[in-house]
Structure 1
């Protein structure tokens, strides 16, 4: 079981545009890469923040190509945005990731979005980062990783496939 930060970003390092929109991700989409397909096939549970759910609503991860438990890390009352098939969790990121690992039932836990993976990485809970780069320049928006004051995190390249990469987090 591995905790994987799975993300798509623009060539200039953004995961959402200035309006928090992610439609640009599909401009050059020819379907998932073999690395992306591998992540989808090995994912047991999915963890993201409440902001991501507000943007994509009830849409399933990976365009519906994956089904399984979805955990939403939120500080809001779950009743304010209830999507019954999602499990809303709060508290310390260590406990939230542990809940996700349990929900993954022996498969991988994918964390995605902005804040949730950053918190998990900074807590030493992320094992790998799988990153897809879309050939578009946004100029501004939500950065892939923005964590001032944190010591550098060393990564080891495991796979480089066209514009898709798998890194191991060196702990």
Structure 2
């Protein structure tokens, strides 16, 4: 779990997911989400979030989707990447450091509020390292059949404790506390 010392904020993996377990469709498509869920539907989550740590692919998909509804305001935005873009984005800080330093930097910017983790790869890395406190999942009533899974193969087993389930319209929201870092996935027969 994340270290104490950043106020009351938690590290939260935030995901919209199809009923068949995909967080993005083929080609990393995420346009299907806005049919069921927009920023206007989650004002409490936005108010509790002080910063976001985003994977580069997720950042690129979000840029392509901008203007498709009310903007999501989760505070300061940090994108963890091996290659910052040639043209800087004044609304984003690109980090090329290691994961632990990126999480610490973004948590510091969150000002005691939650740090939201967006992006399949960054979230999996944080879960493996035991850096995540909670997982927030919006289950949407759609089957995608293919795309980016909620977790990548080989993540390993992670024990979760459910603590909240709500339904608003067509969206079911699930919240879990993470009990510890991933245990290695079993190998071979």
User: What's the offset of the Cα at 1:31?
Assistant: 6.4
Contact 2:39 2:71 survives alignment (8 Å): no
User: What's the offset of the Cα at 1:81?
Assistant: 4.6
Aligned counterpart, 2:82: 75
Contact 2:52 2:74 survives alignment (8 Å): no
Q: In structure 2, list runs of 5 or more residues that go unmatched.
A: 1-8, 181-189
Aligned residues: 166
TM-score by length of 2: 0.81
Aligned counterpart, 1:116: 122
Q: Aligned match of 1:158 in 148, 160, 163?
A: 163
Aligned counterpart, 1:19: 27
Stretch deviating more after TM superposition (156-165 or 65-74): 65-74
Question: Is structure 2 residue 61 aligned with structure 1 residue 55?
Answer: yes
Structure 2 Cα separation of the partners of residues 99 and 54 of structure 1: 21
- For 1:19, what is the secondary structure of its paired residue? helix
- For 2:57, what is the secondary structure of its paired residue? helix
Question: Is structure 2 residue 13 aligned with structure 1 residue 5?
Answer: yes
Larger-Rg structure: 2
Stretch deviating more after TM superposition (83-92 or 128-137): 83-92
Per-residue CA deviation, residues 96-152 of structure 1 (Å, 9 max, x unaligned), is 10111011011110001111111111110000000001100000000111141x431
TM-score by length of 1: 0.89
Give the CA RMSD over aligned residues: 2.0
User: What's the offset of the Cα at 1:67?
Assistant: 5.2
Gap change, CA 1:29 and 1:106, over 3 Å in 2: closer
Q: In structure 1, list runs of 5 or more residues that go unmatched.
A: none
Gap change, CA 1:151 and 1:31, over 3 Å in 2: closer
User: What's the offset of the Cα at 1:65?
Assistant: 4.2
Structure 2 Cα separation of the partners of residues 71 and 42 of structure 1: 17
- Higher RCO structure, 1 or 2 (CA under 8 Å, sep 6+): 1
Structure 2 Cα separation of the partners of residues 118 and 27 of structure 1: 26
